[in-house]
């Protein structure tokens, strides 16, 4: 008689796991917005913040509506905000599935507070 262990946990592939932090960016000329003739200090700060979060082992994703429309469509709260406020809603920052900021990029400290369960 063969005994089969059905109590097996199947890990979710990292590509399917939710990112820790998601940036839903306004339309930009390139994925980072750092490609034009002059640098936008805010976008430079955001890029540095993303690197800092990634160095802590966090999964951070950045989306633009033109190149990632399905990601927007799969996020009901993000789509609700875009429908209500249109482009003024962007950027939308999501931490562990919860919207923490709309219309502006938060500071690193604000993202870290939300990652730690503080509001």
What is the pLDDT at residue 28? 73
The structural domain count of the chain equals: 1
pLDDT of residue 53: 97
What's residue 40's pLDDT? Answer: 77
Q: Which pLDDT does position 55 carry in this prediction? A: 96
pLDDT of residue 31: 58
pLDDT < 50: residue spans in the chain: 1-14
**Residue-range definition of the domain harbouring residue 36:** 21-115
The H-or-E segment that residue 77 falls in is helix 76-85
Do residues 40 and 33 make contact, with C-beta atoms less than 8 angstroms apart?
Answer: yes
- Residue 4 is predicted with a pLDDT of 44
In a domain, residue 2? The reply is: no
What CATH number should be reported for the domain holding residue 53?
3.40.30.10
Reported pTM: 0.79
């Amino acid at each position: 008689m063969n005994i089969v262990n059905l109590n097996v946990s199947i890990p979710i592939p990292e590509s399917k796991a939710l990112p820790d932090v998601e940036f839903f960016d306004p339309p930009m000329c390139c994925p980072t917005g750092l490609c034009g003739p002059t640098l936008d200090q805010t976008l430079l700060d955001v890029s540095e913040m993303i690197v800092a979060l990634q160095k802590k082992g966090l999964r951070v994703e950045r989306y633009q509506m033109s190149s990632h429309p399905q990601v927007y469509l799969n996020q009901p709260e993000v789509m609700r905000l875009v429908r209500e406020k249109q482009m003024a809603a962007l950027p939308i920052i999501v931490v562990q599935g919860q919207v923490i900021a709309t219309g502006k990029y938060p500071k690193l400290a604000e993202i870290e507070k939300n990652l730690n369960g503080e509001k």
